[in-house]
Amino acid sequence: MTFNAGPWRDAERLARSDAPMVDPFGRTVSYLRVSVTDRCDFRCTYCMAENMTFLPKKDLLTLEELDRLCSAFIAKGVRKLRLTGGEPLVRKNIMFLVRNLSRHLQSGALEELTLTTNGSQLSRFASELAECGVRRINVSLDTLDPDKFRTITRWGEFDKVMEGIRAAQDAGIRVKLNAVALKDFNEHEIPELLRYAHANGMDLTLIETMPMGETGEDRTDQYLPLSTVRERLEQTFTLADIPLSTGGPARYVEVKETGGRLGFITPMTHNFCESCNRVRLTCTGTLYMCLGQDDAADLRTALRASDDDAYLSAAIDEAIARKPKGHDFIIDRAHRRPAVARHMSVTGG
């Protein structure tokens, strides 16, 4: 990780810039994903090893510091903010942060405050999330079979997640389901997941497994290209491409038979980096400019160096100037090692 002290140490040169963040490839950064904790109450086999070592709690930014960092990004043009993890809803007092950040929704500075969750704690938090202005959330669900759910999450309880999804919908929050497509695990269940999602008013997005962090599993055994999934689905369903642009990596189709939407996130078979509008902040204040690269910027030092956000703003500008063109993910027999050593739970996907 690098931190260039030059631009922010020289206070005289700091004119606080709230100009839009544009990277060297002309992409405007308007989306911040924040991993508020690296901890989780599940141990999904494609995401974590069973015996994970987590960060010592003392290394975490406080919720006040996370709020200040997020607010600095919002001042610099972030319009969409997603809390993720680990499991964001297991971070102690997380609703304090959500409630504080919701002031940016009220002011109009932020268009969307949302989260990605495994759903285990949703029944507790759904109404409060809705009160804070959270309108849509992503819930990860890879199977509808409770036994298989336990196998893939190692520790998860299927019924609690179902309860959580219902609680979110009852609170008026739109739910989108995310499922990682896994060879020999859920590959034949995808039509059922699709029908379930669409029958219950949810979009479904399928994700290709990415080589991030050691999990104790062989990724070549898990990896299922979504091009194969799509071909198989087309034997049963009529999939019509729709130009829905979320500014994100998913490509969407409408499923004529169900009337619902299906997204494909294909980092492996189709590189989507050319339209990347996002950066990722970890719970220690490290900014990753790309999910699939190791280069990162230490914003915690700038945050703690001064109460003046000008330092932070300059450190953010310096980081955005280093945003790389794209990732180099590859999974095959010759590449058994993860492309990046950190787990997905560090940056939250």
Residue 30 interacts, among ligand SF4, ligand SAM, none and using kind-specific CB cut-offs from 5 to 8 Å, with: none
Answer for the pair 112, 136: CB distance below 8 angstroms, yes or no: yes
Residue 43 interacts, among ligand SF4, ligand SAM, none and using kind-specific CB cut-offs from 5 to 8 Å, with: ligand SF4
User: Candidates 79-87, 124-132, 259-267, 298-306 — which segment interacts with ligand SF4 by CB under 6 A?
Assistant: 79-87
Under rule CB under 6 A, residue 288 binds ligand SF4: no
What is the DSSP pairing of strand 239-242 with strand 286-288? unpaired
Under rule CB under 6 A, residue 42 binds ligand SF4: yes
Q: What is the DSSP string of 130-173?
A: HHTT--EEEEE---S-HHHHHHHHSS--HHHHHHHHHHHHHTT-
Among 48, 94, 101, 206, binds ligand SF4 (CB under 6 A): 48
CB 60 to ligand SAM: min, Å? 16
Of the pair 263, 285, the CB lying nearest ligand SAM is at 263
Answer for the pair 346, 281: CB distance below 8 angstroms, yes or no: no
Going residue by residue from 104 to 133, which x/- string records binding to ligand SF4, judged by CB under 6 A? Answer: --------------x---------------
How many CB atoms lie under 10 A from the CB of residue 127?
15
Among 87, 208, 298, 318, binds ligand SF4 (CB under 6 A): 87
**Contacts to ligand SAM by CB under 6 A:** 40, 46-47, 84-85, 87, 116-118, 140, 178, 180, 207, 209-210, 212, 344-345, 348-349
d(CA 209, CA 180): 6
d(CA 24, CA 189): 42
Cα dihedral across residues 279, 87, 307, 73: positive or negative: positive
Under rule CB under 6 A, residue 141 binds ligand SF4: no
Residue 289 interacts, among ligand SF4, ligand SAM, none and using kind-specific CB cut-offs from 5 to 8 Å, with: none
DSSP bridge pairs for 336: none
CB 316 to ligand SAM: min, Å? 23
d(CA 263, CA 280): 21
